[in-house]
């Protein structure tokens, strides 16, 4: 029988690291499993090994993660990098977490779980998005952080703060940005205007954001009001075609990076049966999470972008709240000081989430981007087009899960991560139903790939 | 739970009470095959299929995809004959369905192998086959293969494989495409389909039935595990229980990795390898579990070691709709004329039989041989 | 393989030898496998098993499964999740299904 951990944390980004720090300080036995080779999550990826040239290009917000990373590395907890969690199930003993480490399936047992595995980029299904040469802006940033790689020239397209930040970093690194094509609908500015009040509660962030936006508009070929975006080129990307004010334009470039915001990854929460909720503002599904990170399933907490996208700082605070709450509930800390701290942390998160409302409204994805059509590939793994999905949805299928069976969309190795949301949009659209009523794709193990041989070998627990 | 308040309902109330000739409760393989059979035989019939929620337990989407005769009904002669007839009707059924729906359902009948992992297992299987052959007066054909003969048919078998049973009468199909094809064909032939409509209450009217506001002269319950509940409302005893089956699906493998279909594993038309399946009594819990997934993987690798390097893409758990003896129940309500119950876990093997002779039986279009077989499978066998 | 669309901004990086499709190459040691393939000018890393079209790394964070390659004989590994190691054998897939 394995050791039973008091707290098993999945993900070593800001939320997971902070949760581990707080819980281990309270003498709980903590295990952190993370898929990356070093701690930091996507935001502080590779921070511990970063080279001076990378640091210069990535900027101060990236380096600001150093104290947290140092605190985590010093914390008294078990930490397994390069651990790919492929299955979790509930058991009388608690939770059985199976992860692939060095090619072997290893099983851990814990009484409580904290899911802090973060977010992913919203899939942007435009014609040709599956061709070589097209990647996401997040991918561009990861290449910069982990590998120090920069494209020689690039087109950035879509909407959202990450796209602007990447433009800033690429400029600092001397990359030729052939164009930044902004798909943010003009109406968003008006919709977001009342939320400026919320943004004003975090003036530093607001000024930084404004500066970031303005700087790109001045320093790179910045084109607003972009629609009908598509990738040109037969076998690989040669450029983009897009429309502004009724006029079609073409730009040639072999590297194109797309982005339209982040969405929570819900697969682990879904697998464990945590209630999911559709958010109209965020335009995504997310696990229902309370102020202390609690979900609808006892002993499972969620913190950070895994619950709702709020950025690195909020994630860190949520991680601390989750860890402290776990310690409180275990009776490991009872001091008044820590109770006051917990209340303060929750208030701060509330305020920051409110301020986040401005960004959420400003960068809500354009409606036309949630309606892929014709031969645009929706399911990249099984090569299923929007037209196929729409025709079956229009004939009146029960929902995305039936659609999956009929078309194979969502059956590939990505387990519907790249197509599930767009399948939902197409079903909602064809059947005139609200997204909140179109159940998401069901989730089954493996959450990440494992071979039959590795599964057969397994480990006893 | 789904609500059935929709346009169709408004039409019903506005027009006439007697709107449909048949309501099929359940849009899985059983319900869709019966609807397909009815509309083909009587194209003028007004048929409505009521289907459940997208995330309901659906045995049809967890099906393994075998058209399997080996061993079916070795202890129940009527079921043995019925399975064999069903499999024999499949080639025509598949042909016609593909033509109507324009969907390739990947049907093939090249025979099937069941692998035995030790001599005792091989002996037990041989005895079952002999009984089946006896029940079908020799119509069921099979060969008992020793290890070398099995290796000739499927190279690469693991050392623990003692032999296999081969029957040329077994076949396979993509069960998901089969369901899609039935739905599409039904739609083209004029069957109405109403998804997300979990029937709560069926009222018996003077001349027909009212299922949550949908009215028809006749009704067939094909609601899987829900048949027991709905059957009671129509005075029918339809005892069914969930038996969980877990299976694994791998990445696409080289075509021809598996030469024949088998209940342990089969290679789909898409190239993936489906591996199954467990038999678990765990109520309505259809989740995948580590220990069972591991056991299935171990058995698969024992049968064919080269599978070890394939990546697992998906695991699946589905609930079989099982009667106490595992055979189908075809029931006519004694109290309410025009109400029927069909409970069956072999929705694929028997799809052609359901679209063919069973729908004739529902239409009171007697073919004495089939009538005897079908009525031998009513629920009288559970009342002692 | 063609001219790379990417360059490495780290000056005089530590080098690491990898074997890509049986050819030895020196790459900066901090690269991910996917990064190394891009750096070496591989514009595609596999052919799609359904359409046969060329595919390349897309998300670089393990969610899209576009960068599946063979690493040290292990099939279908996500190239974006592993760092290059000395003498690592990387094989891109030019045909997933051997007909």
The C-alpha of A457 sits at a distance from chain B's nearest C-alpha, in angstroms, of 8
**Closest-CA residue of chain A to C75:** A451
**CA nearest neighbour of A169 among A137, A194, A204:** A137
Is C79 near chain A, with CB under 8 Å? no
pLDDT at B14 over 90: no
Report how far residue A83's alpha carbon sits from residue A448's, in angstroms, rounded to the nearest whole number: 10
Secondary structure letter of residue A81 according to DSSP? S
For A232, phi then psi, to 5°, come to -100, 165
- Place C74 in a pLDDT band, splitting at 50, 70 and 90: confident
Is C43 near chain A, with CB under 8 Å? yes
CB B2 within 8 A of CB B52: yes
Superfamily of domain C15-91: Beta-grasp domain (3.10.20.30)
- Place B384 in a pLDDT band, splitting at 50, 70 and 90: low
pLDDT at B87 over 80: yes
- Using a CB-CB cut-off of 8 Å, the residues of chain C touching A147 are 8, 28, 30-32, 35-36, 39
- Using a CB-CB cut-off of 8 Å, the residues of chain B touching C99 are 255
State yes or no: ipTM above 0.90: yes
Sign of CA dihedral A412, A413, A415, A417: negative
Mutate to test the interface with C, among B249, B250, B254, B312 (most CBs of C within 10 A): B254
CB contact under 8 A, B254 and C75: no
A181 membership: H or E segment, kind and range: strand A176-182
Sign of CA dihedral A238, A244, A249, A253: negative
pLDDT at B7 over 60: no
Report how far residue B164's alpha carbon sits from residue B144's, in angstroms, rounded to the nearest whole number: 6
| Domain-wise residue ranges, chain C | 15-91
Query: Is A371-437 in the same CATH topology as A123-260?
Result: no
Sign of CA dihedral B77, B78, B79, B84: positive
Mutate to test the interface with A, among B28, B245, B313 (most CBs of A within 10 A): B313
**CA nearest neighbour of B314 among A86, A399, A405, A413:** A413
Nearest by CB: A236 against C44, C62, C81: C44
**CA nearest neighbour of B323 among B275, B365, B267, B380:** B380
The C-alpha of B274 sits at a distance from chain C's nearest C-alpha, in angstroms, of 17
- Cis preceding linkage at B277, omega within 30: yes
CB A457 within 8 A of CB A104: yes
From the candidate CATH numbers 1.10.3470, 1.20.58, 1.10.10, 3.40.50, the one assigned to the domain spanning A371-437 = 1.10.10
Nearest by CB: A98 against B184, B290, B307: B290
Report how far residue B207's alpha carbon sits from residue B204's, in angstroms, rounded to the nearest whole number: 8
Secondary structure letter of residue B70 according to DSSP? T
Sign of CA dihedral B277, B281, B286, B289: negative
pLDDT at C94 over 90: no
pLDDT average, residue stretch A413-429: 96
Is A42 near chain C, with CB under 8 Å? yes
- Using a CB-CB cut-off of 8 Å, the residues of chain C touching A236 are 43-44, 54, 56
**Closest-CA residue of chain A to B248:** A452
Q: Which fold has domain A123-260?
A: FAD/NAD(P)-binding domain (3.50.50)
For B337, phi then psi, to 5°, come to -65, 135
**CA nearest neighbour of B254 among B238, B272, B240, B280:** B272
Report how far residue C38's alpha carbon sits from residue C65's, in angstroms, rounded to the nearest whole number: 16
The C-alpha of A196 sits at a distance from chain C's nearest C-alpha, in angstroms, of 32
The tens digit of pLDDT for each residue in B153-189 reads: 999 999 999 999 999 999 999 999 999 999 999 999 9
pLDDT of residue C97: 35
* Neighbors of chain B with 3 or more C-beta pairs under 8 Å: A, C
Is B188 near chain A, with CB under 8 Å? no
pLDDT of residue C49: 85
Q: Which residues pair with A106 in a beta bridge?
A: A99
CB A274 within 8 A of CB A302: yes
Is C73 or B295 the better-scoring residue by pLDDT?
B295
CB contact under 8 A, B315 and A402: no
pLDDT average, residue stretch A318-328: 98
DSSP assignment string, B294-306: HHHHHHHHHH-GG
CB contact under 8 A, B311 and A96: no
**CA nearest neighbour of B147 among B129, B169, B121:** B121
Helix-helix angle A420-431:A386-394, to 10 degrees: 40
CB contact under 8 A, B255 and C96: no
B290 membership: H or E segment, kind and range: helix B290-303
The C-alpha of B181 sits at a distance from chain C's nearest C-alpha, in angstroms, of 21
**What SS3 state is found at C74?**
strand
Helix-helix angle A336-362:A312-329, to 10 degrees: 150
- Using a CB-CB cut-off of 8 Å, the residues of chain A touching C85 are none
pLDDT at B222 over 70: yes
The tens digit of pLDDT for each residue in A248-270 reads: 999 999 999 999 999 999 999 99
Instruction: Choose the weakest-confidence range: A318-322, A423-427, B285-289.
Output: B285-289
Is C89 near chain A, with CB under 8 Å? no
Mutate to test the interface with C, among B251, B308, B313 (most CBs of C within 10 A): B251
Report how far residue A124's alpha carbon sits from residue A421's, in angstroms, rounded to the nearest whole number: 10
| Domain-wise residue ranges, chain A | 4-120+263-334, 123-260, 371-437
- Cis preceding linkage at A411, omega within 30: no
**What SS3 state is found at B47?**
strand
**CA nearest neighbour of A396 among B313, B351, C31, B194:** B194
pLDDT of residue A396: 85
pLDDT of residue B18: 56
**What SS3 state is found at B316?**
strand
pLDDT at A357 over 90: yes
CB contact under 8 A, A120 and C59: yes
Report how far residue A391's alpha carbon sits from residue A368's, in angstroms, rounded to the nearest whole number: 18
| Both tokens assigned to B234 | 């129509």
pLDDT of residue B1: 34
Report how far residue B377's alpha carbon sits from residue B362's, in angstroms, rounded to the nearest whole number: 14
How large a percentage of chain A has pLDDT more than 90? Answer: 94
Nearest by CB: B250 against A396, A412, A452: A452
Q: Which domains does chain B have, with CATH numbers?
A: 7-62+176-239+326-382 (3.50.50.60), 241-322 (3.30.9.10)
**Closest-CA residue of chain B to C98:** B254
What CATH number is given for A4-120+263-334 in this structure?
3.50.50.60
Report how far residue C95's alpha carbon sits from residue B365's, in angstroms, rounded to the nearest whole number: 55
């Amino acid at each position: 029988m394995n050791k039973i951990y008091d707290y098993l944390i999945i993900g070593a980004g800001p939320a997971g690291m902070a949760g581990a720090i707080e819980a281990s300080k309270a003498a709980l036995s903590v295990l952190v499993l993370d898929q990356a080779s070093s701690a930091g999550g996507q935001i502080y990826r590779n921070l511990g090994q970063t080279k001076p040239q990378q640091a210069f290009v990535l900027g101060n917000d990236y380096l600001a993660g150093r104290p947290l990373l140092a605190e985590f590395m010093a914390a008294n907890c078990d930490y397994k990098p390069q651990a790919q969690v492929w299955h979790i199930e509930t058991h009388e003993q608690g939770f059985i977490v199976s992860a692939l480490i060095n090619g072997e399936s290893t099983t851990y047992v814990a009484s409580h779980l904290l899911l802090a595995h973060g977010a992913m980029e919203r899939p942007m299904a435009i014609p040709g998005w599956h061709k070589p040469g097209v990647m996401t802006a997040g991918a561009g940033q990861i290449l910069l952080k982990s590998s120090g790689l920069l494209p020689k020239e690039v087109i950035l397209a879509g909407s959202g703060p990450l796209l602007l930040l990447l433009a800033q970093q690429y400029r600092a690194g001397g990359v030729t940005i052939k164009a930044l094509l902004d798909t943010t609908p003009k109406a968003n500015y008006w919709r977001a205007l009342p939320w400026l009040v919320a943004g004003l509660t975090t003036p530093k962030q607001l000024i930084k954001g404004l500066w970031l936006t303005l700087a790109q508009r001045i320093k790179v070929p910045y084109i607003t009001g972009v629609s009908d975006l598509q990738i040109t080129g037969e076998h690989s990307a040669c450029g983009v075609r897009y429309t502004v004010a009724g006029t079609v334009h073409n730009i040639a470039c072999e590297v194109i990076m797309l982005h339209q915001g982040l969405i929570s990854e819900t697969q682990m929460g879904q697998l464990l049966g945590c209630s999911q909720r559709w958010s109209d503002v965020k335009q995504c599904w997310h696990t229902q999470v309370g102020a202390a990170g609690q979900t609808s399933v006892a002993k499972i907490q969620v913190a950070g972008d895994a619950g709702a996208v709020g950025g690195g700082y909020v994630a860190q605070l949520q991680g601390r709240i989750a860890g402290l709450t776990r310690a409180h509930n275990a009776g490991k800390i009872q001091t008044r000081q820590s109770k006051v701290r917990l209340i303060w942390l929750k208030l701060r998160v509330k305020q920051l989430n409110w301020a986040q409302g401005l960004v959420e409204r400003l960068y809500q994805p354009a409606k036309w981007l949630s309606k892929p059509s014709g031969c645009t590939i929706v399911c990249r793994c099984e090569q299923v087009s929007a037209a196929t999905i729409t025709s079956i949805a229009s004939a009146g299928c029960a929902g995305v899960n039936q659609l999956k069976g009929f078309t194979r969309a969502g059956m590939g190795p990505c387990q519907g991560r790249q197509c599930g949301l767009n399948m939902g949009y197409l079903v909602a659209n064809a059947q005139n139903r609200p997204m909140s009523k179109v159940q998401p794709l069901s989730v089954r193990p493996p959450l990440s790939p494992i071979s039959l041989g590795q599964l057969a070998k397994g480990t006893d627990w | 739970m789904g609500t059935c308040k929709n346009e169709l309902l408004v039409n019903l109330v506005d027009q006439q009470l007697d709107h449909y000739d048949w309501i099929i409760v359940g849009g899985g393989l059983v319900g869709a095959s019966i609807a397909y059979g009815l509309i083909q035989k009587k194209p003028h019939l007004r048929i409505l299929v009521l289907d459940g929620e997208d995330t309901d337990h659906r045995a049809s989407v967890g099906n393994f995809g075998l058209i399997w005769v080996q061993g079916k009904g070795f202890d129940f002669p009527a079921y043995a004959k019925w399975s064999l007839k069903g499999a024999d009707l499949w080639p025509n059924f598949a042909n016609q369905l593909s033509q109507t729906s324009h969907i390739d359902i990947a049907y093939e009948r090249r025979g099937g192998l069941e692998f035995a992992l030790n001599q005792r297992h091989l002996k037990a299987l041989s005895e079952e086959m002999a009984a089946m052959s006896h029940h079908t007066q020799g119509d069921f054909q099979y060969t008992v293969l020793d290890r070398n003969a099995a290796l000739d048919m499927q190279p690469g078998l693991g050392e623990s494989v003692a032999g296999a049973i081969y029957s040329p009468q077994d076949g396979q199909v993509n069960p998901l495409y089969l369901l899609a094809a039935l739905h599409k064909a039904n739609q083209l032939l004029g069957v109405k389909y109403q998804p997300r409509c979990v029937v709560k209450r069926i009222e018996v009217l003077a001349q027909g039935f009212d299922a949550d506001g949908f009215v028809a002269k006749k009704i067939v319950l094909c609601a899987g595990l829900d048949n027991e509940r709905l059957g009671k409302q129509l005075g029918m005893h339809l005892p069914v229980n969930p038996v969980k089956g877990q299976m694994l699906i791998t990445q696409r493998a080289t075509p021809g990795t598996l030469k024949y279909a088998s209940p342990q594993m089969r290679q789909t038309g898409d190239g993936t390898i489906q591996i199954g399946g467990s038999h678990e009594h765990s109520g309505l819990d259809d989740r995948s579990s580590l220990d069972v997934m591991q056991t299935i993987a171990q058995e698969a690798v024992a049968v064919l070691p080269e599978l070890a390097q394939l990546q697992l893409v998906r695991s699946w758990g589905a609930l079989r709709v099982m009667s106490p003896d595992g055979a189908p129940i075809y029931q006519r309500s004694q109290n309410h004329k025009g109400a029927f119950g069909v409970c069956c876990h072999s929705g694929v093997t028997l799809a052609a039989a359901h679209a063919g002779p069973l729908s004739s039986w529902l239409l009171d279009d007697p073919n004495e041989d089939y009538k005897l077989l079908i009525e031998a499978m009513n629920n009288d066998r559970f009342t002692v | 393989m063609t001219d790379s669309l990417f360059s490495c901004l780290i000056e005089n990086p530590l080098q690491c030898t990898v074997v890509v499709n049986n050819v030895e190459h020196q790459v900066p040691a901090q690269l991910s496998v996917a990064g190394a393939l891009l750096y070496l000018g591989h514009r595609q890393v596999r052919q799609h098993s359904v359409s046969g079209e060329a595919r390349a790394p897309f998300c670089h964070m393990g969610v899209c499964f576009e960068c599946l390659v063979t690493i040290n004989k292990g099939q279908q590994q996500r190239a974006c999740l592993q760092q290059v190691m000395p003498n690592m054998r990387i094989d891109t897939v030019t045909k997933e299904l051997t007909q």
